[in-house]
Amino acid sequence: MNLYDIIFYFFAVVTIASAAVVVFSRNIVYSAFSLLFTFFGVAGIYVLLNADFLAITQLLVYVGGILVLILFGVMLTTNVVSVEIKTGTMQTLPATIIVALLAGLLGGIVWTTDWFVGKRLSEVTSQTTSKEIGTALITTHVLPFEIASVILLVAIVGAAMMARRERSNTNI
């Protein structure tokens, strides 16, 4: 087990443990804060995989943007700390069976499959991925890139429409 493996397992444990806290915590503020560590752990794994651009994006967008947004949402909602969130467990037996089956199946697949390997880390020559990603985004992947912008436009309009509806409701 070399240093690389140790760092990987460290980030993996951080990601999974904090994700478990997000799900199981009954206090939404704790959940929101431990989401920070989940995002951070994933960013760490990206760095280990030489995906520098993805790692930075993960930090900027998820930690810097989405997480802050969630925290603001939590803080601006009145009484959210004192309100008990309804987190019940239903249908325990069937859920356990299905989850166990699915986990076993997926685990088995992960172990037995010959996964596709593109380039090994030792074969990677370029120092940074940003340039390659940038080139791909405006050449081979230009269409998905542009469609994503239309999707964002739709999402903004949709969000504004729903938010305005809420406001006019309270006015009445």
Residue from the set 2, 84, 89, 118 that interacts with another protein by CB under 8 A = 118
Query: Which residue, 10 or 53, has its beta carbon nearer to another protein?
Result: 53
Query: Which residue, 13 or 157, has its beta carbon nearer to another protein?
Result: 157
User: Residue 147, interface with another protein (CB under 8 A)?
Assistant: yes
CB of 132 to another protein, least distance (A): 14
Please give the full DSSP string across the chain, using - where no structure is assigned. --HHHHHHHHHHHHHHHHHHHHHH-SSHHHHHHHHHHHHHHHHHHHHHTT-HHHHHHIIIIIIIIIIHHHHHHHHHSTTTTTSPP-----SHHHHHHHHHHHHHHHHHHHHH--------GGG---S-SHHHHHHHHHTTTHHHHHHHHHHHHHHHHHHHHHHHHHHHHHH-
User: Residue 61, interface with another protein (CB under 8 A)?
Assistant: no
Using CB under 8 A as the binding criterion, the count of chain residues that bind another protein stands at: 33
Which residues make up the interface to another protein (CB under 8 A)?
Answer: 105-106, 108-109, 112-118, 139-144, 147-148, 150-151, 153-155, 157-158, 160-162, 164-165, 168-169
